[in-house]
């Protein structure tokens, strides 16, 4: 009987959501409303509608079905312009697809044991994100910033923070003793609730700030759910308080020293919070060693390497895309470990950092020497700095970097040759894949003014011409593949050796 009632409620929920969309479309047409207004109405209404789902439905299957339905419907709406009052009005994004996708992920992960996390996260998305936009658009002189493509305002971010903190605090206060909501009774003091609310709101607001092109609809629920799980379920409040303080310190110093751009500092803050919060110094020291030593190496011989600034797509001051390309997989591995608590993921983590280190050190050290490297695909001599080129000196430097990464973990990982081999081979294999893709698929351009081959789309104040590879395969994408390969290699080699 409960199963049939669940599907009846699910049917009514779907009809209600379509009803809200239809009414919004009608009102938009009658009163000539700005499509952005009706889009926010739908955004808020849907979040509020799914908020009580965990206490209405006895099974997650109807929720999974609803999420899948709206993923498909919203995708078709974007492509066919079915609901103009629901989709982004300025440019085509997939924000309305990411909305039900985020809900689907939350249901799959938290429905059984911690349904409160689903409700809080979806409400933070529905109300916090909408109010951030409303406040940002309504103030007379908003202080605008742009981290990854979408313009945001300081006032809007403050609204996001306050709304999310309020939602978390109120929900924790009234449900902390509910096994139905949390799967256990929470022993939280008033101080704990305040701190959890502040940290969750801060982490979620930072993710909202970097969420461009509709990705905030995915980033907000995922980031808030991770933080709630870590602080409430895992009881990691003290650990994450240190993580936030350390992350702010590292990001601020690195930005001041010009190791990072502003958005690079934000990306580093996110990774530092996740990695230290999950694993403390055991997880933090290897990636800190990579970041600090690699940044220092990039500054060595800077004068000698100035010519390569005309070739390489990015400078030594890393932006958020470089940070995530090199450290995003490491952060994702830490998140997976937080939920599964399997030590094998620590070696996937080390493999990822080893690959990033091997690639970075091989490039930085290789370009310090005048010897021409060889292209990996045909071993012909090419100019230093050419994508896909390898040299003996650079490779030795990369191997030394991988050994240092393993050494940074030896306080917690008992040394044996097999484990060292796992980490070093992961770095070597990741670097090999990086060079192979660099020699075959990475986009290479020719300057129409000076005829130099470069990774840049704009050179000598003119657009360049693609001469090799795929336009979408830039250096950040190659680095992401490199670190992914390193992580997967770490898992595979650990099972084999």
Q: For 147-202, how does the pLDDT look when each residue is reduced to its tens digit (9 = 90+)?
A: 998 999 999 999 999 999 999 999 999 999 888 899 888 989 999 999 999 999 99
Among 426, 437, 251, smallest CA distance to 349 is for 426
237 - beta bridge partners?
none
356 with 426: CB under 8 angstroms?
A: no
Estimate the crossing angle of helix 216-228 against helix 154-175, to 10 degrees.
Answer: 40
- pTM beyond 0.85, yes or no: yes
378 with 349: CB under 8 angstroms?
A: no
Quote the CA–CA distance of 212 and 6 in Å, as a whole number: 35
Q: Is the dihedral of CA 290, 478, 472, 216 positive or negative?
A: negative
pLDDT tens digits, 458-489: 778 788 888 888 888 888 999 999 999 999 99
What is the average pLDDT score of the chain? Answer: 89
pLDDT for position 123: 95
Residue 446 pLDDT greater than 70, yes or no:
yes
Instruction: Find where tokens 């789309």 sit.
Output: 457
pLDDT for position 90: 55
Residue 356 pLDDT greater than 90, yes or no:
yes
pLDDT for position 200: 98
Q: Which residues contact 238 (CB under 8 A, 6 or more apart)?
A: none
Range among 175-184, 311-320, 444-453 rated most confident:
175-184
Query: To the nearest whole percent, how much of the chain has pLDDT over 90?
Result: 58
CA angle 440, 446, 447 (to 5 degrees): 155
Joined together, the tokens standing for residue 18 give: 């379509």
pLDDT tens digits, 367-395: 777 788 888 888 888 877 778 889 999 99
320 with 263: CB under 8 angstroms?
A: yes
pLDDT tens digits, 241-300: 999 999 999 999 999 988 899 999 999 999 999 999 999 999 999 999 998 898 888 777
pLDDT for position 46: 87
pLDDT for position 314: 52
Q: Which residues contact 99 (CB under 8 A, 6 or more apart)?
A: 43, 46, 70, 74, 125, 217, 218
442: which DSSP letter?
A: B
pLDDT for position 310: 46
Joined together, the tokens standing for residue 298 give: 């990039």
Q: Which of 288-292, 419-423, 450-454 has the lowest mean pLDDT?
A: 450-454
Residue 23 pLDDT greater than 90, yes or no:
no
Residue 91 pLDDT greater than 60, yes or no:
no
Comparing 123 with 46, the larger pLDDT belongs to: 123
Phi-psi region of 32 (alpha: psi -120 to 50; beta: other; left: phi over 0): left
């Amino acid at each position: 009987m409960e199963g049939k009632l669940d599907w009846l409620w699910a049917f009514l929920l779907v009809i209600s959501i379509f009803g809200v969309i239809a009414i919004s479309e009608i009102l938009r047409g009658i009163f000539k409303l700005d499509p952005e207004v009706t889009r926010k109405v739908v955004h808020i209404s849907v979040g509020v509608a799914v908020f009580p789902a965990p206490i209405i439905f006895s099974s997650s299957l109807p929720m999974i079905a609803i999420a899948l339905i709206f993923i498909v419907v919203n995708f078709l709406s974007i492509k066919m312009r079915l609901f103009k009052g629901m989709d982004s009005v300025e440019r085509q994004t997939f924000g309305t697809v990411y909305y039900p996708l985020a809900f689907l992920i939350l249901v799959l992960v938290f429905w059984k044991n911690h349904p409160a996390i689903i409700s809080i996260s979806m409400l933070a998305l529905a109300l916090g994100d909408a109010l951030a936009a409303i406040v940002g658009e309504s103030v007379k002189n908003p202080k605008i910033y742009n981290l990854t493509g979408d313009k945001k305002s300081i006032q809007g971010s403050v609204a996001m923070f306050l709304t999310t903190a309020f939602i978390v605090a109120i929900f924790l206060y009234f449900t902390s003793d509910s096994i139905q909501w949390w799967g256990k009774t929470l022993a939280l003091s008033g101080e704990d609730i305040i701190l959890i609310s502040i940290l969750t709101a801060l982490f979620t607001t930072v993710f909202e700030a970097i969420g461009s092109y509709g990705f905030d609809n995915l980033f907000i629920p995922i980031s808030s759910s991770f933080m709630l799980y870590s602080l409430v379920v895992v009881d990691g409040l003290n650990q994450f308080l240190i993580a936030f303080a350390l992350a702010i310190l590292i990001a601020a110093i690195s930005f001041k020293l010009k190791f990072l751009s502003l958005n690079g500092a934000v990306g580093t803050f996110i990774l530092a919070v996740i990695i230290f919060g999950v694993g403390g110094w055991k997880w933090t020291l290897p990636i800190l060693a990579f970041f600090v030593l690699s940044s220092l190496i990039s500054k060595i011989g800077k004068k000698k390497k100035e010519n390569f600034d005309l070739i390489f797509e990015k400078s030594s001051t890393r932006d958020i895309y470089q940070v995530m390309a090199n450290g995003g997989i490491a952060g994702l591995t830490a998140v997976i470990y937080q939920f599964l608590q399997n030590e094998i993921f620590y070696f996937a983590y080390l493999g990822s950092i080893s690959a990033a280190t091997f690639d970075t050190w091989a490039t930085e050290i290789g370009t310090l020497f005048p010897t021409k490297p060889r292209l990996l695909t045909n071993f012909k001599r090419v100019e230093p700095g050419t994508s896909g080129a390898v040299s003996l000196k650079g490779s030795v430097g990369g191997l030394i970097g991988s050994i240092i990464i393993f050494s940074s973990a030896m306080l917690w990982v008992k040394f044996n040759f097999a484990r060292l081999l796992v980490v070093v081979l992961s770095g070597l294999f990741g670097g090999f894949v990086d060079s192979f893709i660099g020699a075959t698929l990475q986009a290479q351009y020719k300057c129409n003014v000076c005829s130099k081959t470069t990774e840049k789309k704009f050179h000598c104040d003119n657009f360049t011409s693609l001469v090799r590879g795929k336009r979408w395969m830039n250096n950040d994408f190659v680095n992401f593949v490199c670190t992914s390969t390193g992580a997967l290699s770490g898992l595979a080699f650990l099972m084999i050796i």
